[in-house]
Amino acid sequence: MPAYILRRFLLLFFVLFGVVTLVFFLIHMIPGDPVDIMLGDHAALADKQILRHNLGLDQPLYKQYFNYLGGIIQFDLGISIHSKKPILKEIFERFPASAELMAGAMIIALMIAFPLGIISALRPYGLLDGTSMLVSFLGVAIPNFWLGPLLILLFSIQLDLLPVNERGTLAHLILPSITLGTAMAAMLSRMIRASLLEVLGEDYVKNARAKGLHERKVILKHALRNALIPVITIIGLQVGVLLSGAIITEAIFDWPGLGTLLLDGIYSRNYPLVQGCILFIAFIYVMVNLITDIAYVWADPRVRML
């Protein structure tokens, strides 16, 4: 186990290095000059040159790249061009809001997916199974940039039941969590159904029933745990989807998380901020994948780390 974790950390290093390199050069290819955005098109040329020098944007691109890599090695992602605050500080200020939104979306997804998937597997090809499949298709097909405004129109404007803007009480979290978690719930429910259907036909499940065990114990203890391997995989991979989907959801609901911070950085050509946000998101994604792999052993002791 320790050797496996060490190898994964080395892989994490190379993945993050690739992300840093790709994002650095792509972000500098985006049209627009941050100096023009900050000072305006009518600013004096001398003022623009001074600001460009202070920001280090007058240096060759390769030199800016190596300076950025040197800062990362020292856990310094740079200074925001606009707020003049350290990038890490801005990220840590916004990350709790994003983590709260992702946790809410995950809870919504699991609350919907597990009961729906289990019931569909126990009563396959029936009315409930067909209905759940239709709901799953709709959940995957409906994009969150359409579902979010629809929920706002219904529950905030028409019914006046839930708030819509920014972050505050638990009520502020409901609509963004539903928007972000619906697609994940649809995918997970179908995966749970398929995996559980396969496991229910195994001999050890039949033996457990033959011993006279209660059906609920057979399903929850013997069948469901062994059906969790592909489900854990999907949950781990979906964290990356939640992170990317949260950008749109946060913009719709004016949620003060990493998504809105990243969009602000893109709009203002704030290179260090955009690079720092994407690097942080990539780090979280890779770490969650590592935790997912380790969770395989808990779910099925027969799995061995290679």
**pLDDT confidence bin for 300, thresholds 50/70/90:** low
pTM of the model: 0.78
**Domain 94-299 class, CATH top level:** mainly alpha
Sorted by sequence, the CB contacts under 8 Å of residue 118 that are 6+ apart come out as 192, 193, 196, 219, 224
Per the model's pLDDT, the better-predicted residue between 195 and 244 turns out to be 195
What pLDDT, on a 0 to 100 scale, did the predictor assign at position 234? 76
Nearest to 129 by CA among 179, 181, 194, 184: 194
Tens digit of each residue's pLDDT (9 = 90 or more) over 28-70: 777 766 776 666 667 777 777 777 777 777 788 888 888 888 8
Residue 304 has pLDDT above 80, yes or no: no
SS3 of residue 79 by DSSP = strand
Write the pLDDT tens digit of every residue in 70-84: 888 888 888 887 788
Q: In the chain, what are the domain boundaries?
A: 2-73, 94-299
DSSP string, 131-155: HHHHHHHHHHHS-HHHHHHHHIIII
CA distance 272 to 275: 5
pLDDT for the residue numbered 122: 81
The pLDDT of residue 37 is 67
C-alpha to C-alpha distance for 296 and 237, rounded to whole angstroms: 14
pLDDT of residue 235: 78
Alpha helices by DSSP H, listed for 30-169, are 34-39, 45-54, 61-73, 87-122, 127-141, 144-151
C-alpha dist (Å) from residue 265 to 19, 83, 108, 205: 17, 11, 30, 54
> What value does the mean pLDDT take over residues 166-193?
85
- 265, 176 in Cβ contact below 8 A? no
Flag whether pLDDT at 302 surpasses 70: no
Six token digits for residue 195: 């995996």
